[in-house]
Structure 1
Amino acid sequence: MPLKTHQDEMPSINLTPMIDIVFQLIIFFMVGTRFTEIEKSIDLKLPQVSSSAPLSSAPQKRVINVFRDGKIQMNQQELSLGQLTSELKTAREQYNELGVVVRGDAQTDLQNVAAILTACREAGISDLGISVRLGTKER
């Protein structure tokens, strides 16, 4: 069996492409920061305000209560399913990202809650939630 008497050359890593990319990134960021400085140096008198806040705040989520007997209540008003759908459509026209939280009585039929969720979908509301309370684990 022949033995190696000389050692092979150690492989070397070519760093040239990586250095090229680093230099290009440095140039890119240097040029990019110059544009923002130029915009800030434009002589422009900005309007002054007393406080900063959004023009209108997002409305709170609407809370719909479903009672044991199937009665529906929103904003302390008792509504039918059709009235609820039209109220939600009107509210959604005013604010497109309107959210709804459904609070169903624990003893009510699931069908009542499902009808409310369907009415919300018909009104075009996609931000839906169901309110529950945490209890102890039963085994």
Structure 2
Amino acid sequence: MPVQIKKGLSGSSLSLTPLIDVVFLLLIFFLVTTRFEEEERDMAVNLPKASAAEPTIFPGKEIFVTITPTGEYFLDGKQYSASSLENELKSLYENNPGKQRVKIRADEESRTTHLVTVMNACNQANIRDYTIATE
């Protein structure tokens, strides 16, 4: 007499709970990482317009220095004075020598002296690859 094996219902159905958990974790991860990347670009400054502006492509991390209309300097969301900005740029250059790139985002209402101060700080830190952001 042959033995009959009864299969349970759990073997025939596929559980989607682990798949849904993984999808939600990936969604949260991408939302958080996108927010950190755009945080520096979200500061409200009016960039001057340039007719021949072109997007730049560069391998590596780009640092954004933002100049507000009142002449305050921001780097990675932190406010710096002119001398402390120069020291911070020097330490960033030492961590990535020869490959560090700075994009200066100066408000169109800010004074030129503030822009020249940031450019001078880049030169003092041996960062020669810096650009001024435009729309």
Coarse TM-score class (shorter-chain normalised):
0.5 to 0.7
| Aligned-partner Cα distance in 2 for 1:80–1:130 | 19
Give % identity. Answer: 21
Of 85, 89, 111, 1:109 maps to: 111
Aligned residue number for residue 12 of structure 2: none
CA-CA distance at 1:59 after TM superposition? 3.8
Aligned residue number for residue 74 of structure 2: 73
Higher relative CO (Cα under 8 Å, sequence separation at least 6) belongs to 2
| TM-score normalised per structure 2 | 0.55
| Aligned-partner Cα distance in 2 for 1:102–1:69 | 15
| Aligned-partner Cα distance in 2 for 1:108–1:94 | 30
1:10-44 Cα deviation digits (max 9, x unpaired): xxxxxxxxxxxxxxxxxxxxxxxxxxxxxxxxxxx
Partner secondary structure for residue 132 of structure 1: coil
**AA aligned opposite 1:123:** A
- How many residue pairs are counted as aligned between the two chains? 76
CA-CA distance at 1:60 after TM superposition? 1.0
| Aligned-partner Cα distance in 2 for 1:114–1:98 | 19
In the alignment, does 2:125 pair up with 1:123? Answer: yes
Query: What value does the CA root-mean-square deviation take over the aligned residues?
Result: 1.0
| Aligned-partner Cα distance in 2 for 1:84–1:120 | 9
**AA aligned opposite 2:132:** I
Runs of 4+ deviating beyond 4 Å: none
**AA aligned opposite 1:60:** K
Partner secondary structure for residue 65 of structure 2: strand
| Aligned-partner Cα distance in 2 for 1:66–1:108 | 7
**AA aligned opposite 2:95:** Q
Partner secondary structure for residue 62 of structure 1: strand
| Aligned-partner Cα distance in 1 for 2:63–2:93 | 11
| TM-score normalised per structure 1 | 0.53
| Aligned-partner Cα distance in 1 for 2:72–2:89 | 17
| Aligned-partner Cα distance in 1 for 2:92–2:112 | 25
**AA aligned opposite 1:100:** V
Partner secondary structure for residue 117 of structure 1: helix
CA-CA distance at 1:121 after TM superposition? 0.3
**AA aligned opposite 1:126:** R
**AA aligned opposite 1:101:** K
| Aligned-partner Cα distance in 2 for 1:84–1:75 | 11
| Structure 1 stretches lacking a partner, 5+ long | 1-57, 134-139
Aligned residue number for residue 31 of structure 1: none
Aligned residue number for residue 87 of structure 2: 86
